[in-house]
Structure 1
Amino acid sequence: MTGWSEFILAGMLFLASHAIPSMPKLKAALVRGLGQRGWVIGFSLLSTALLFWVIFAAGRAPYVELWPQETWARWLVNIAMPLAILLGSFGVGAPNPFAFEARASGFDPVHPGIAGLTRQPLLWAIAIWAAAHLVANGDLAHLILFGAFALFTAMGLRALEARKRRQMGETEWQRLSARTGLIPGAALVAGRWRPKGWPSPTRLIVAVLVWVTLYHLHAPVVGVSPQP
């Protein structure tokens, strides 16, 4: 299987797999069967494998140029990716009842942590990654790939927020979200939230290691150097 057919199949399977977290009954059944840790590990491995497949499939699809690749666009990616990785590193597994990648336990609405910066750090990380790569890659396959990621992430932000609000009820939602914001930095600018203390050094180290790893493996794995 080559060309557009592989790219379409990989994309459909990736999107189908990421519909699972938005299905509470199915996700609950998987968590019961695999355990919380097993669910997280299993879903993470599946997501990673499918993500790499759809990226490689986009690279193997027929090249149809829509706009030329520019040096400034590569700089944009190199500026955006550390921000995206930081959001993901501080969001995954953090106390945050609003995000699917986090945990509800341990959340303090007075000191909301990463939720004070944004209630959906991982979705924003994906959106930043997709938008930056969309600009830097000017061919049809990557427009479809990164455009789909950006579009579905935007839809996911709205849908997840609405579902969490319904589940919590308006009173509980207002109580828990009083010092948070959906748009990154909105609560900080509005004065509803101020950071307390220093960021977790462990999560910061993880973010740096992930960035270094992705930067150095981009050329040998993806086949394109991230250097401007």
Structure 2
Amino acid sequence: MTRTALVLAGVRPGRDPLAEFAGVSHKALIPIGGTPMLERVIAALRASGRIDRIAVSIDRPELVTLEGVEVLRSSTSVSRSVGEALEALGGPLLVTTADHALLEPDWVRHFLDHLPDVDVVAGLARDRDVMAAAPDTKRTFLRFRDGRFSGCNLFHLRDRRALRAIQLWQIVENERKKPFTLLRRLGLRAVFAHLAGRLTLAYAVRRIEEMAGCTAGIVELPFGRAAIDVDKPDDLILVRRIVEQDAAARA
């Protein structure tokens, strides 16, 4: 089965403070260990041995000239860009982001090897694994009865039925840094269960399925670093330090 990967590299509406901080036009072009983040992500996807086709979604296609990489013009939001890419490329489609600079081939293989038989899948990591891997990181965790989890910027869209989840993705995108506001979308029962410490991840997934009109699931990744992306200057400093330490350990 041919599997395509989409790397989101566009700029959100308005200025990009992190790109300005790093002195580049796009966050995806910020160098980590001497290599732009976008190229690091593409290299990891290729090294996984599970990806046959790679596409990049960016608002300025002329910035991406990597051999063997298709380029799509991004839309006005992440969710719209993903929807248009799924229409253009078809499924199954693995989606990640250019700021997932620590991405490793093993993470990609683990994610794809453990996909449930559903339309839309997201990768999550437990807080204990994230903090063990990077005690200095600051992540947003969603709390459930069965643990606290952070997103890992890895998604799988099986086919066109996954388009039904794109509208919900827009909501999640807008509220991703507001856990309680996002929780309210699941309904009052979910809110009360959360306040009582009884909300399970499985129940949240079922509610997402009902809201989106398609089947959904998660893959728990045992790699704490998988939850670390580069959103803020502190993230950039942390990721650069991790990469430098890894390079020194290999030397």
TM normalised by structure 1 equals 0.26
More strand by share: 2
More helix by share: 1
Q: Which has the larger radius of gyration?
A: 1
TM normalised by structure 2 equals 0.24
